Amino acid sequence: MEKKIEIRAYKDEFYPPVPTKATKFWRTNLVYQIYKFLRLNYKIMRIVVKGHS
């Protein structure tokens, strides 16, 4: 039987940017994410400290 292909063209979900393989890789790369963890915490703390003044 022929496999039914769902054509996404012209649908809402056709247009947004989607991550490439490399982007997905870096998202769960432990070393890079440890760096991100520290950086994001720093950015969050800056906002938090401002909110408490």
Partner 1 sequence: MAKVVVLGAGISGHTAASFLKKMLGSKHEVVVVSPNRYYQWVPSNIWVGVGRMKIDQVRFPLDKVYQKWGIIYKQAKALEFHPEGDQENNSPFVTIEYVANAEKGQREKVSYDYLVNATGPKLNFDATPGLGPGKFSQSVCSYDHAAHSWEALQQSIKAMENGQMQRLLIGTGHPSATCQGAAFEYALNIAFELKRKKLSHMAEITWITNEYELGDFGMGGAFVKRGGYITSTKVFTESVLTENNIKWIKRAGVTKVEDGIAHYETLSGEQNTKDFDFAMLIPAFKGQDFKAYDKSGEDITAKVFAPNGFMKVDADYTPRAYESWTVEEWPKTYQSPVYPNMYATGIAFAPPHGISKPMKSPTGLSITPSPPRTGMPSGVTGKIVAQNIAHFIKHGETEHKHTASMGKMGAACIVSAGFSMTRGLGATMTVSPIVPDWQRYPEWGRDIKATVGEVGLAGHWIKLFLHYMFIHKAKGYPFWWLLPE
Binding site for partner 1 (CB under 8 A): 12-13, 15-19, 26-28, 30, 32-34, 36-37, 40-41, 43-52
Shortest reach from residue 26's CB to partner 1, in Å: 7
* Chain center to CA of 34: 15
CA end-to-end distance (rounded Å), the chain: 67
Based on CB atoms, which residue is closest to partner 1, 7 or 47?
47
Q: Do residues 26 and 32 touch, judged by C-beta distance below 8 A?
A: yes
